[in-house]
Structure 1
Amino acid sequence: MDNDSSSRIVAQLKEWIARAAPGSRLPSTRALVAEHSVSPVTVQKALQALTAQGLIESRPGVGTFVRAVRTARPSDYGWQTAALRSPQAPLRSASAAMRSAPNDVIALHSGYPARELLPERLVRAALIRATRGEAALTRAPAAGLPELQSWFAHELGTSTPPGVTPPGASDVVVLPGSQSGLSSIFRALVGSGQPLLMESPSYWGAILAAAQAGVRVVPVPSGPDGPDPDGLARAFEETGSRLFYAQANYANPTGAQWSVRRGDEVLEVVRRHGAFLVEDDWAHDFGISSAPSPVAARDDSGHVVYLRTLTKSVSPAIRVAAVIARGPARERILADRGAESMYVSGLLQAAALDVVTQPAWQTHLRSVRHQLQSRRDLLVTSLREHAPQAHLTLVPKGGLNLWARLPDGTDVEQLSADCERAGLLIAAGTEWFPAEPAGPFIRLNYAGPNPGAFPEGARILGRAIQENLR
């Protein structure tokens, strides 16, 4: 009976509200009780229903009123254009590699390994232990937890040949991911408006960091064996640059790995010009048929600034990396990091250290190596069978990606859009070039989810290339 009564009151009040002006005051609860011969509870139910529908609003101590319907006024932020002026660097959209993919597509675009390639059990246990320790409630040192600094230094030191002094813990600065490290290095060691030599093609994030730092990027062509030392020397002489950014092991996007000899030749050029080599060892944990050989391990005079990240191999949720630098360069980088973020979360540092010091960590890395080899070989075979027009410059010995050259005249952006409509996500190679692309390329990640779909993905790609060339 109460429900019928409240519904009747709601209907009658709606008619009254339709005739009333916005802001009109409704009759009091006592008046409604008397008018409809019902209990106060029934009236309250009716008013609650009208409130839920957005027709009335209550003002405690004042009364209940017809809700005023306000027309939304478009926001005007035009004043910000004048206040901000022109951006110092061109604004770049997020990389295709950072896009999230729905479950019903074949994802070969990402820059991260699939979840099944991560040490999930180790990560979860490490995070639980970290929350119970001191790191959960204390501020970490600016340069990082000493134990984690020592671990990074020891990792590089294991590759140091006899006669070369290995790095120490005091040479290490822990970072909240290698991307922030690149930004600090470019700001601290190059400076706005100054030239920076960079492998081409190269990591899109390094190109972005250089643009935001305001440095002037000078591309240095690099092939399957790395950059030509003579060409690098000419670039140093012509530009006066004092820094060269490169990836000596399993480069992103090409997968190239320098030989020890090539690394030594590059290091000699850098030394001769009194410059720095920034070595980004992002894929250190993803060797397949070879082991990484950092150039930094063969330098003890401070010419190599070395970056190592755990974000991809441990977990994308644990953004922990480190830069190893010696002398004043290290102090400048640390000062820039202090101004940027003061310190890295001790909780994440403790969790990362816990994972990589567990005996099961090495077992996990061996398992990942075998899984990456199977995935890489499956994608290579699938491309050769179903998309032979996508020419592989090399089959990488490690890393996460294949770099494919497409036929001349291919519209890479259109190809990417056509593949996406057919259920395949790929990454156009244009964003990996600091200047104009050297040709039509695509990057394909073989560490993503659902490797069983690689053959179908290659079929989609092959059909799209044929259609694109028509």
Structure 2
Amino acid sequence: MPLREIADPLGPPPAGTITLDGDYVHRSLQPTRVLSAALARAARRPDAWDRAPTGGLTALRAVFARIVGGGVTPEDVLVTAGGESALSIAFRAIAGPGSPVLVESPTYPRALAAARAAGLRPVPVPLDADGVRPDMPADAFAMTGARLLYCQPTFQNPTGTVPAPERRRQVLDVAHASGAFVIKDDFARHLGHGGAVPRPLVVDDEDGTVVHVTSLTKPAAPSLRIGALVARGPVMERMRAVRVVDDFFVTRPLQETALEVLGSPSWDRHVRSLGAALRERRTVLADALAREAPDATLTGLPAGGLRLWVRLPPGVDDMVLAGAARQRGVAVGAGSRYFATEPPAGHLRIGFAATADLAELTEGVRRLGVALTDLGPGQE
């Protein structure tokens, strides 16, 4: 798999660039005290450097099971080295090389890369304002013979979409009727902006159709690379087998640290304060875009997640605009990277969590607005 499929085609931004394309929260939003204290306690455990169980520490699996709810047990949980490791394991355990996999369009580029690295062929299923339409995967399953759907029904990356409960149920029923699995990426479980967060799809799954992916990296810090796969039935055994070949087990000190973090009352306080901060940043970003880039169209105001999805004026190439913005000292995500095939229009993914503060966020949007004005429509 070429590196260009997962790396920013413009390369790393120069020092001093304002980051509106980050996948993690800024250090000021991370629970650094909680993490440091948890790591110190974990290191003092007598068995801190012993080998961890292949499936993960029983206590940590129990915590993940409790977070998911719905009768999920520790035996249904496999601890992984973050969300992307979980995706890689799931793709390879469920479908063989050359198989099609249905994906939302647009979707997370690293999920596309993980699917392709497993030898799978991503088949795009368009989204509307309410997520995936049930007839779309039904037709795609029938036409392609796919037996796997990858989706993010909680604050979808990059659009922020949350499907209505009846649509979530319909998509699950379509997958079951097609004899297919659904990989449900729940990366944003702890990234809500203060409102209700939909319950995990696996809770409503009585047939072993859903493989649930979760991670602590996004709401905590990039190096807390702890995630989990949740599944019932034979598919879990296949995933355990893949992980043994991959890396045997996740390092015990990191698992112990995650266990300490999730068991601390400070974790719930952090999630609440993070949600409030993200909500404020989302609002500031939306207002700044309306002021500085009025010709761009905000596709929605998500109730969770770390970014906004913006449609560009006709004739504006997203890659050209991203390059022009980079020259003005601000990094944004070109929307074409989020489509498995040719995008229908130019888009940008603009994040609001990676800047140091609100002032830097608004300055980044100002620079983006200058780049868009200077570029003008039709200049590619």
Aligned to 1:397: 303
1:210 alignment partner AA: A
Aligned pair partner of 1:345 in 233, 251, 262: 251
Is residue 185 from structure 1 mapped to residue 97 from structure 2 by the alignment? no
Distance 2:197 2:15 in 1: 33
Q: Tell me if 1:331 matches 2:237.
A: yes
Aligned to 2:221, the other structure's residue is in SS state coil
- In the other structure, the counterpart of 1:130 is 42
Displacement of 1:285 in angstroms is 0.3
Instruction: Classify the secondary structure of the residue corresponding to 1:123.
Output: helix
Q: Check the 8 A contact 2:6/2:109 in 1, yes or no.
A: no
Q: Would you say 1:247 and 2:159 are equivalent positions?
A: no
Return the letter of the residue paired with 2:25.
P
- Counterpart of 1:155 in structure 2 is 67
Specify the code of the residue in structure 2 equivalent to 1:399.
G
2:213 aligns to what?
307
Superposed counterparts of 1:149-228, under 5 Å: 149-157=61-69, 160=70, 166-228=71-133
Distance 1:191 1:116 in 2: 42
> Residue 362 of structure 2 corresponds to which residue in structure 1?
455
**Partners of 1:416 and 1:422 in 2: how far apart?**
10
Once residues 288 and 123 of structure 2 are traced to their aligned partners in structure 1, the CA distance between those partners, rounded to angstroms, is 36
Per the alignment, residue 120 of structure 1 pairs with 32
**Contact 1:290–1:398, Cα closer than 8 Å, also in 2:** no
Alpha-carbon distance in 2 for matches of 1:286, 1:418: 30
- CA shift at 1:255, angstroms? 0.8
Residue 103 of structure 2: SS of its match in structure 1? Answer: strand
CA distance, structure 1, for counterparts of residue 306 and residue 16 of structure 2: 22
**Alpha-carbon distance in 1 for matches of 2:223, 2:290:** 35
How far is the alpha carbon of 1:96 from its aligned partner? Answer: 3.0
Name the SS of the counterpart of 2:211 in structure 1: strand
Listed as ranges, the gaps of 5+ residues in structure 1 are 1-88, 161-165
**Partners of 1:139 and 1:353 in 2: how far apart?**
16
Question: How far is 1:439 from its partner?
Answer: 1.1
In structure 2, stretches of 5+ residues that fail to align are none
Shift of 1:292: 3.2
1:310 positional shift: 0.5
- C-alpha distance 128-102 of structure 1, shift in aligned 2 (>3 A): farther
Deviation at 1:414, TM superposition (A): 1.4
State the distance in 2 between where 1:467 and 1:371 align: 32
SS in 2 for 1:92: helix
Question: Over residues 433-465 of structure 1, what are the superposed CA-to-partner deviations in whole Å (9 max), with x where a residue is unaligned?
Answer: 111112101101111123212222222222222
Equivalent-residue separation in structure 2 for 1:358 and 1:336 (angstroms): 32
Compute the displacement of 1:107 (Å). 1.1
Within 5 Å, give how 1:439-454 maps onto structure 2.
439-450=345-356, 451-454=358-361
Alignment match of 1:297 (pick from 203, 214, 224):
203
Contact 1:97 1:427 in 2 (8 A): no
Looking at structure 1, the residues matched to 249 and 48 of structure 2 have their Cα atoms a distance apart, in angstroms, of 14
What is the distance in 2 between the residues matched to 1:203 and 1:136? 35
2:347 matched to 1:435?
A: no
* Deviation per residue, 1:378-400 (Å, 9 max, x gap): 00000001111221110001000
SS of the residue corresponding to residue 307 of structure 1 reads: strand
Structure of larger gyration radius: 1
Q: Which ranges of 4 or more aligned residues in structure 1 deviate by more than 4 Å?
A: 97-103
Question: 1:96 is paired with a residue of what secondary structure?
Answer: coil
Structure 1 CA distance for aligned equivalents of residues 67 and 4 of structure 2: 35
Shift in alpha-carbon separation, 1:97–1:404, aligned structure 2, 3 A: farther
Q: Corresponding residue for 1:467?
A: 374
Q: Which amino acid aligns with 1:270?
A: A
Confirm or deny: 8 A CA contact 2:309 2:350 kept in the other structure. yes
Q: Deviation string for 1:250-289 (max 9, x for gaps)?
A: 1111111112111111111111111111000001100013
- TM-fit CA distance, 1:350: 0.5
Q: Does the aligned pair in 2 maintain the 1:199–1:220 contact within 8 Å?
A: yes
Matched AA of 1:235: A
What amino acid maps onto 2:311 in structure 1? R
Residue 466 of structure 1 and its aligned partner are, at CA, apart by: 2.4
- Structure 2: how far apart are the matches of 1:220 and 1:461? 30
- CA distance in structure 2 between the partners assigned to 1:101 and 1:412 by the alignment: 17
- How far did 1:137 drift? 1.7
| Identity %, equivalent residues | 40
How many residues in Structure 1 have an aligned counterpart in Structure 2?
Answer: 375
Change (3 A) 1:300 1:135: farther
User: What is the CA distance between 1:97 and its match in structure 2?
Assistant: 10
Pairing partner for 1:275 from 160, 164, 180: 180
Which whole-Å deviations, capped at 9, do the CAs of 1:417-447 have from their partners, x for residues lacking one?
1111111111111111111112101101111
- 1:77 alignment partner in structure 2: none
Which structure has more RCO (C-alpha within 8 Å, separation ≥ 6)? Answer: 2
